[in-house]
Structure formats: structure tokens, C-alpha cells
Amino acid sequence: MNPADAADETPEREIARLLEDITAYAQRFKKSRERLLDVQHISHQTGIARDRVHALLRGARVEREPDEPKARETFRRGLVVQRLQFLRQTRLKQVARRNGTVEEQYSLRNIEEVTKISYQHVSKILNGESGASADHLGRLEQFFGVEPGFCLKTEDVALVGHLRQMVDVDLPKLATQALLQGGRVALRNPGGEIDHLRDILPVLDQLLTQQQDGNRH
């Protein structure tokens, strides 16, 4: 892409361009694009609600950060609340029960014990009653196991970043494995058929390691 085109590219166009690349890979693998695009996984990785991911993949306009300083501050504060609530709903703890293991949300006390942020203040942050300092936000992101800055990524930054990871890293890895297997992609493992890229990649990593080990002997 030349500089002039890059300057004119909107988030919607960039998403569309990345989806075209993913479609090309899907056609090469003789699979539908939907098998490579696991909406639930994308939602989990980006913090964007599943319905919204669906809409963005279908061409909906992204929500832009306002230019006006006060409006931008309000937007960012709301974004942090939204992302933190999402993390609390999706990053669950394993709890042993008499009839087996269940998943539950972390309590405010659980969060306090690890982050050293009082449960009262955590509650206020999650409810949007108080803003999170950079230090507190970093501790909360670390608690939920996401990279620093996760809660401040707008939906276009988060989604474009995920799709670019697919196009630049994950799908080329899959294509490499296809070449190693003579042009055919194995979408099966001993446990049954694999439907999505998130399930394929660990298998490919193992196969590539075996291939490399075999080449050393």
C-alpha cells in the first residue's frame, strides 16, 4: 500500500481489506471463511461483544473516539468500564464443587486480594462511578490476564489488530503446514475434527516441531 492510499484508509476499509486476505486463504484451503473466523474467539480476544463483532465483520461503521477533549475523556472512561465488565464476565475462575468443577465470576474480594485495590473502589470502577488510574487499570488488566492497554483499545484498533495477527502470522503458519503436507491442510486431530483456527494452531505448532525434529535426524 502506498502512502497516499494509507492516508485515505478508514478502519472500515482496513477491516474489509484484511477480510479479503482471509477469504483468499479460506479459498486456498477449500474452506469457508466462517471456519477461520471464530466470532466467539474474536470477541474473547478483543473485548468486543459477539453481536458487535458480527456487525463489524459485515461492514458496520466503527465507533470512533471523539476529537473534543471532554467528550474523548468520557468516551475513554466508558470504554474502560465496558472492557472491565467484559473481562469479569468472560475471565472466570474454576471452582471445585461436589458434583464437579464450575466456572464463576471473581468476587470483588478476590480482585482486592490480588490487585491490592479495595473492593469498594473496584466496585466503583466497574460501575463507572470512579475512574481507574493508569496504575489501577494496569493491575486489573494483569489480574484478568490480558496485555497492558487492552481496556483502552477502541473496537477498530482491537479488531484490526486481531485480524492482522491472523493474516500476518496465523494463516501463513497454516499455509506453511499445508505445503509440508503436500498442499493439503489437515483439519483433524486425534480428538476429532477441528473447526476453527484457534484449535488448528496448537496442532500445527506440534506438527511443525515434529517436522523440525525429524529434519535434524
Cell, residue 26: 479460506
| Amino acid 28: pLDDT | 83
Q: Is residue 170 a contact partner of residue 111, using CB atoms and an 8 Å limit? A: no
| Amino acid 188: pLDDT | 45
Rounded Cα–Cα distance for residues 169 and 180 (Å): 17
Q: Domains of the chain: which residue ranges?
A: 3-61+155-216, 69-151
Q: Is residue 36 a contact partner of residue 197, using CB atoms and an 8 Å limit? A: yes
Q: Which residues of the chain have pLDDT under 70?
A: 1-8, 178-217
**CATH fold of 69-151, please?**
434 Repressor (Amino-terminal Domain) (1.10.260)
Q: Is residue 56 a contact partner of residue 159, using CB atoms and an 8 Å limit? A: yes
Query: Does pTM top 0.85 for this prediction?
Result: no
| Amino acid 112: pLDDT | 98
Question: Residue 59, SS3?
Answer: coil
Q: Are strands 188-189 and 192-193 parallel, antiparallel or unpaired?
A: antiparallel
| Amino acid 87: pLDDT | 98
